[in-house]
A and B are shown apart, each in its own frame.
Chain A
Amino acid sequence: MAEFLMPSLGADMEAGTLVEWLKKPGDPVKRGEIIAVVETQKGAIEVECFEDGILDTYLIDLGTKVPVGTPLAMIRKEGEPSAAPRAAAPEPAAAAPAPGQEKPAEPAAEKPVSKPQPAAPAAPSVAAATPPGRLRITPAARRLAAEKGVDPATLTGSGPDGAIQLADVEAAEAGAAAPKAAPEPPKTTGGFNMDAMRDAIAAAMARSKRDIPHYYMSHRSDLTNAEAFIAERNAGKPPEERILIAALFVKAVAKALKKYKEFNGHYENGVFEQGESAHIGMAINIRGGGLVAPAIHDAQDLDLDAVMEKTRDLVARVRAGRFRAKELSDPTITVSSLGDRGVEAMFPIIYPPQVAIVGIGVPVVRPWVVDDTVVPRSTVTLTLAADHRVSDGHRGGLFLSAIDKNLQEPGKL
């Protein structure tokens, strides 16, 4: 039996609210499958499961805000007996080994065991175990009702068998509070709470500026080859198969990281842990303000089309306000590109616990010397902010210059 936990999505996250279950008790779950959605400062995050098995029991009611690391559900292995529902009394027959189970179950005396449960409705244990005549109400709903002074007997439950759930209490409470001054609704854009997001960005960036001794480098790179490569690659292709130059930037960084590994990883508790793979965080701005930087995983192993496809998918999901826990928590470096609007250079701030961030300005045409002649060339300014606790300017310069070299040979990316 394994615990499915409220994930940590970065140093600035302390708690999250469970808002949706995508699997029911009894459903098989696979490693990497999304089984729940939690609401955080960064918006709605899809949380994936880390092992194969069967969702056994829910431990938390929908709408409950819990600290990072709190178990949300139990996941049992195939063939493992189900844990007894919390409130249900074990029946004598339940001690029999589950069908299809090879090893005998643990002694029933130590741990009540029941047959694997078929898919059960949400919060079944509590509602089902309530003796007749007593109010059917989930523990979280009862707690909230007591806290808010709502009499549960006056409520109509919307749960299984009419059980009163957290949402019912909240609705009643909201109704009671309505005649008073209604609280200003949080400012949201595309599923994001913008005030909370601003707080999250502020917390992470303040920590970065406080703890990380940044150093900065800048380098102008000729984009002629890269742009010609993209134009040729996209010619005659329908729009959905075209790639953007952003995909080249990601690949150029991933390739340079193979040699300059000290820019890829996390610095935590005084120790730098080098990333085994290049999970490149793509800084994506959100309409109305704010940004997130979810990861393109294993960018060194992806070809340009795959990087483009992942980028497209990430942008689409950021726009919809929905991405996965792993994408936000594990980038090992960030690439922040201004795209084609704005200014030619940026000096980005490292996102802790990462140790480097590469900035890419807006491409501009500048005089350039080629074979002793000044010619107009499309150029881009590459910048690097890196953590002096882990690397020095000498290596930083070589890393940035390696990215430039990679952009000169786009066919090899």
Chain B
Amino acid sequence: MTDDEVETALREELHKIAPDMEIEDIDPLGDLREEFDIDSMDFLNLVSALSKRLGLPMPEEDYDEMGSYNAMFAYLKAHSG
């Protein structure tokens, strides 16, 4: 999977959960939940969607590595090979 495909997946799934947010307007290093104003249920739904779409387990103990937009992108890239 290319970097572009991973980023497209992340952008599309984030847009489904926070349709009112523009990726360009957020701080890619800021707290993902703060930047997109998403709660724990939204975050779980985001992880569920990305996990299915990219075929990754994304276990709970890895949540710390998904703290910002950039961190999430790096995590997905590293694990989707």
Chain A residues at the B interface, C-beta cutoff of 8 Å: 189-190, 231, 234-236, 238-240, 242, 244-246, 285, 287-288, 311-312, 315-316, 339-341
Known: A244-B40, A287-B20. 7 other contacts (CB 8 A): A189-B20, A238-B48, A238-B51, A240-B52, A246-B40, A315-B45, A340-B33
The size bracket of the interface on B is 20 to 34
Chain A nearest Cβ from B14, distance in angstroms:
13
Contact present for B41 and A239 (CB under 8 Å): no
Contact present for A235 and B59 (CB under 8 Å): yes
Contact present for B33 and A238 (CB under 8 Å): no
Residues of B within 8 A of A315 (CB): 41-42, 45
Give Cα A341 to B31, complex, Å: 11
Residue of B nearest to A233 (CB): B60
Residue of A nearest to B60 (CB): A234
Interface centre among A189, A235, A287, A316 (most CB of B within 10 A): A287
- Among B20, B41, B51, the residue within 8 A (CB) of A244 is B41
Contact present for A288 and B41 (CB under 8 Å): no
Interface string of B35-57 (1 = CB under 8 A from A): 00101111011011001100001
Contact present for B39 and A240 (CB under 8 Å): no
- Among B20, B39, B58, the residue within 8 A (CB) of A339 is B39
Does B23 touch A at the CB level, under 8 Å? no
Interface centre among B20, B41, B48 (most CB of A within 10 A): B41
Residues of A within 8 A of B59 (CB): 235-236
Contact present for A285 and B39 (CB under 8 Å): yes
Contact present for B18 and A244 (CB under 8 Å): no
Give Cα A238 to B19, complex, Å: 25
Interface centre among A239, A240, A285 (most CB of B within 10 A): A239
Residues of B within 8 A of A246 (CB): 40-41
Contact present for B40 and A288 (CB under 8 Å): no
Chain B nearest Cβ from A401, distance in angstroms:
25
Residue of A nearest to B48 (CB): A239
- Among B18, B39, B41, the residue within 8 A (CB) of A312 is B41
Residues of B within 8 A of A189 (CB): 20
Give Cα A231 to B18, complex, Å: 26
20 A-B residue pairs with Cβ-Cβ distance under 8 Å, sorted by A, are A190-B19, A231-B61, A235-B60, A238-B48, A238-B57, A239-B47, A239-B51, A240-B52, A242-B60, A244-B40, A311-B41, A312-B45, A315-B42, A316-B45, A339-B39, A340-B33, A340-B39, A340-B40, A341-B33, A341-B39
Chain A nearest Cβ from B50, distance in angstroms:
8
Give Cα A316 to B49, complex, Å: 13
Residue of A nearest to B36 (CB): A287
Does B34 touch A at the CB level, under 8 Å? yes
Contact present for B48 and A287 (CB under 8 Å): no
Give Cα A246 to B58, complex, Å: 21
Give Cα A190 to B17, complex, Å: 11
Residue of B nearest to A287 (CB): B20
Contact present for B39 and A239 (CB under 8 Å): no
Give Cα A312 to B19, complex, Å: 18
Give Cα A205 to B60, complex, Å: 38
Give Cα A345 to B32, complex, Å: 23
Give Cα A285 to B39, complex, Å: 9
Chain A nearest Cβ from B18, distance in angstroms:
7
Residues of A within 8 A of B18 (CB): 287
Contact present for B40 and A339 (CB under 8 Å): yes
Chain B nearest Cβ from A191, distance in angstroms:
12
Give Cα A94 to B48, complex, Å: 58
Residue of B nearest to A339 (CB): B39
> Which 3 A-B residue pairings sit nearest by Cβ, starting from the closest?
A239-B48, A339-B39, A239-B47
Residue of A nearest to B51 (CB): A239
Contact present for A242 and B33 (CB under 8 Å): no
Chain B nearest Cβ from A306, distance in angstroms:
16
Give Cα A357 to B79, complex, Å: 43
Residues of A within 8 A of B48 (CB): 238-240
Interface centre among B33, B37, B39, B52 (most CB of A within 10 A): B39
Residue of B nearest to A234 (CB): B60
Residues of A within 8 A of B45 (CB): 312, 315-316
Chain A nearest Cβ from B33, distance in angstroms:
6
Residues of A within 8 A of B37 (CB): 287
Residues of B within 8 A of A240 (CB): 48, 52
Give Cα A258 to B31, complex, Å: 40
Chain B nearest Cβ from A156, distance in angstroms:
36
Chain A nearest Cβ from B72, distance in angstroms:
14
Chain A nearest Cβ from B49, distance in angstroms:
8
Chain B nearest Cβ from A68, distance in angstroms:
31
